[in-house]
């Protein structure tokens, strides 16, 4: 089956131009002027911008957090992703029972995603303890298409510095990437208990108990350990504040290589003012929302290349149900918020249209860099011959008000209710098939495929 896309304006991480795209057998085979192929179906892009399908390398579908479970499974969550222009996700697997090998969670997640996902997907391993078996398994996980592992410096299965070092050294040896959730666990736990003991249990104390420096200190620590592990690749997830960004810039100024930084839309466009709202529980996530100055610093970090990736940390809990566990005490509220569907349009409308970043910078942060860092390239992340024909048509002239009503996630809210959005997604193609059109999902349950990712 051959398809030609006509009348679109292509945007990549480095250029933009008018051209036709020829697709055959799910792949882009040719990009050129006035392409004409007999027996090809023609799709009219109608003057839209054509971007690579976006890649979200930080989601938590069906995440089991003990006290509850994220409400999007791999079907609802990836339908939301598809309608929002995301055609590949790399999901962070949950912790398993204490002591399990890395492959235990891989087997669990295969079952969670197979037959459900509607976009292509991969998984990050989750290191919850370290011994020789786990270190050897990092290698076999990479051979199985999972060349990345996540380490938490807080929460139940946080790792100590020696184990962080061992993981980093091994991941460097095999050409893999270690992702870190950076917060100083002991300080955060102390502050949480201190606020609770003084009856300060309102949502704003969630933010007060996780100060900027608790994040920046942990980022600094991890970067130093990575440096001792001979510049082992480090990927900082959901970096949220200016102090952390300064730590990263300092390390790079001192010559440290292989540092990758991710932020998320919520840290770019929302502030801790949300914790004073009546519906503040919607915004309980870790790290917490910060100040307008932090948002500005993050936009600048994106524009000057200090930040490589914008992912979502999509981890939804119903406001009307699970989030209410925190109504009398913020420490009892499950952490996380939805965002997989909103990401692309938020970045375009709040970033590109408002002149904070360019289209190319947006494509780089949403598509090409995440695909490159996590081994999805050259199949995913760009518009070039040989890539999967994953494409998004964005109509820059349209606009709408973002509301929960138009979303596809199973969750009962969007954190961006009422936000004016400039631009609108018209069509989304996954491997040449139209899976979303004018906010309607047209794909098939289970048509997403596991992506075997490669090492760096
Ligand atoms: O609050 C958050 N971010 N929940 C999801 C798990 C994580 O820390 O990434
Ligand atoms: Zn995290
Ligand atoms: Zn996360």
pLDDT in tens, 299-308: 999 999 999 9
Cα distance between residue 182 and residue 238, in whole Å? 9
Q: What is the pLDDT of residues 28-46, one digit of tens each?
A: 999 999 999 999 999 999 9
Q: What is the pLDDT of residues 151-172, one digit of tens each?
A: 999 998 999 999 999 999 999 9
Which residue carries 């466009």 as its tokens?
Answer: 269
* 0.85 surpassed by pTM: yes
Closest residue CA from atom 4 of ligand 1? 336
Q: How confident is the model at residue 326 (pLDDT cuts 50, 70, 90)?
A: very high
Nearest ligand 1 atom to alpha carbon 284: 1
Query: How many angstroms from the chain centroid is the CA of residue 167?
Result: 22
Closest residue CA from atom 8 of ligand 1? 286
Q: How confident is the model at residue 456 (pLDDT cuts 50, 70, 90)?
A: confident
Ligand 1 pocket check for 210: Cβ under 6 Å: no
Residue 435 clears pLDDT 90, i.e. is over it: yes
Ligand 1 pocket check for 124: Cβ under 6 Å: no
Residue 20 clears pLDDT 90, i.e. is over it: yes
Instruction: Report the mean per-residue pLDDT for the chain.
Output: 98
Which residue, among 379, 391, 397, has the nearest Cα to 21 in the 3D structure? 391
3-state secondary structure of 242: helix
For residue 363, report the distance from its CA to the centre of ligand 3, in Å: 22
Which residue carries 């590949």 as its tokens?
Answer: 88
- Other CB atoms within a 10 A radius of the CB of residue 196 amount to 16
Ligand 1 pocket check for 286: Cβ under 6 Å: yes
Ligand nearest to the CA of 288: 1
- Mean pLDDT, rounded, for 396-411: 98
From residue 114, alpha-carbon distances to 117, 389, 442, 446, 450 in Å are 6, 21, 19, 6, 8
Closest residue CA from atom 2 of ligand 1? 336
- Mean pLDDT, rounded, for 126-136: 98
């Amino acid at each position: 089956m051959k398809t030609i896309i006509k009348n679109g304006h292509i945007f990549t991480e480095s250029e933009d131009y008018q051209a036709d795209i020829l697709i055959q057998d799910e792949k882009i085979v040719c990009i050129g002027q006035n392409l004409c192929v007999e027996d090809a179906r023609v799709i009219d892009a109608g003057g839209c911008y054509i971007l690579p399908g976006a890649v979200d390398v930080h989601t938590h579908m069906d995440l089991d957090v003990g006290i509850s479970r994220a409400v999007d499974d791999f079907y609802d969550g990836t339908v939301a992703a598809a309608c929002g222009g995301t055609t590949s996700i790399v999901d962070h697997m949950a912790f398993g029972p204490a002591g399990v090998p890395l492959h235990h969670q891989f087997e669990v997640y295969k079952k969670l995603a197979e037959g459900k996902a509607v976009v292509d997907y991969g998984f990050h391993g989750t290191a919850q303890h370290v011994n020789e078996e786990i270190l050897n398994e990092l290698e076999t996980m990479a051979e199985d298409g999972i060349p990345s592992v996540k380490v938490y410096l807080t929460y139940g299965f946080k790792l100590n510095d020696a184990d962080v070092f061992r993981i980093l050294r091994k991941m460097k040896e095999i050409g893999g990437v270690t992702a870190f959730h950076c917060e100083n666990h002991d300080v955060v736990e102390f502050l949480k208990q201190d606020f609770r003991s003084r009856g300060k249990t309102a949502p704003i104390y969630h933010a007060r108990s996780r100060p900027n420096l608790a994040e920046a200190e942990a980022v600094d620590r991890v970067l130093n350990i990575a440096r001792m592990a001979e510049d082992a690749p480090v990927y900082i997830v959901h970096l949220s504040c200016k102090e952390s960004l300064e730590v990263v810039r300092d390390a790079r100024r001192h010559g440290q290589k292989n540092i990758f930084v991710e932020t998320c839309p919520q840290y770019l466009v929302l502030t801790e003012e949300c914790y004073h709202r009546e519906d503040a529980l919607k915004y309980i996530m870790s790290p917490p929302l910060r100040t307008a100055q932090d948002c500005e610093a993050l936009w600048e970090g994106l524009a000057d290349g200090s930040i490589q990736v914008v992912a979502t940390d999509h981890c939804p809990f119903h406001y009307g149900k699970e989030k209410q566990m925190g109504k009398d005490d913020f420490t009892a509220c499950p952490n996380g918020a939805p965002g997989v569907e909103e990401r692309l349009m938020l970045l375009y409308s709040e970033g590109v249209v408002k002149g904070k970043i360019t289209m190319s910078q947006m494509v780089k942060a949403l598509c090409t860099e995440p695909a490159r860092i996590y081994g999805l390239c050259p199949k995913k992340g760009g518009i070039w011959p040989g890539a999967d024909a994953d494409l998004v048509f964005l109509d820059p002239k349209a606009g709408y008000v973002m509301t929960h009503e138009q979303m596809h996630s199973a969750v009962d809210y969007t954190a961006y209710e009422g936000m004016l959005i400039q631009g609108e997604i018209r069509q989304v193609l996954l491997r040449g098939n139209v899976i979303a059109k004018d906010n309607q999902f047209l794909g098939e349950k289970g048509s997403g495929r596991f992506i075997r990712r490669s090492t760096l």
